[in-house]
């Protein structure tokens, strides 16, 4: 995981240190829908390897955007923290923007 700097020249630079990269934002978008077990995330995120999913989940936990909780059946469930929930409007905007661009291209968005 990239270390956070003590000083940033722009708020967007700080935000991208938190959510930048292909997989972190996709994981956050899936967890925005609802909490997921690891295996559910692995199934719902097309093209991500086990290694990368594990690494990105750990990164997101260290950044306090995602937290693990025990489910009633003793499994582990990942969910957004309050800080992660604060990204909900940003993730919603990216979702809408992506759909609009897909329609304009046209491109297909596969729903998992």
- Per-residue pLDDT tens digits for 55-68: 999 999 999 999 99
Q: Is residue 87 part of a domain?
A: yes
Q: Is residue 91 part of a domain?
A: yes
Q: Is residue 6 part of a domain?
A: no
Answer for the pair 67, 81: CB distance below 8 angstroms, yes or no: yes
Q: Residue 21 sits in which domain range?
A: 11-104
Model's pTM, two decimal places?
A: 0.88
Q: Is residue 111 part of a domain?
A: no
Q: Is residue 65 part of a domain?
A: yes
Q: Is residue 106 reached through a cis peptide bond, with omega within 30 degrees of 0 on the bond before it?
A: yes
Structurally, how many domains does the chain consist of? 1
Please report the pLDDT score of residue 112 as a whole number: 55
For the chain, which residues score pLDDT lower than 70? 1-2, 112
**Residue 78's domain is classified under what CATH number?**
1.10.10.10
């Amino acid at each position: 995981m990239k270390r956070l700097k003590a000083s940033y020249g722009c708020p967007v630079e700080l935000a991208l240190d938190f959510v930048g990269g292909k997989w972190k934002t996709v994981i956050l978008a899936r967890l925005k829908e609802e909490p997921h077990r690891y295996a559910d995330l692995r199934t719902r995120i097309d093209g991500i390897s086990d290694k990368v999913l594990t690494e990105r989940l750990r990164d997101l936990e260290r950044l306090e955007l995602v937290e693990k909780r025990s489910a009633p059946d003793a499994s582990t469930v990942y969910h957004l923290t309050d800080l992660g929930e604060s990204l909900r409007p940003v993730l919603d905007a990216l979702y809408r923007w992506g759909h609009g661009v897909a329609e304009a291209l046209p491109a297909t968005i596969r729903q998992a």
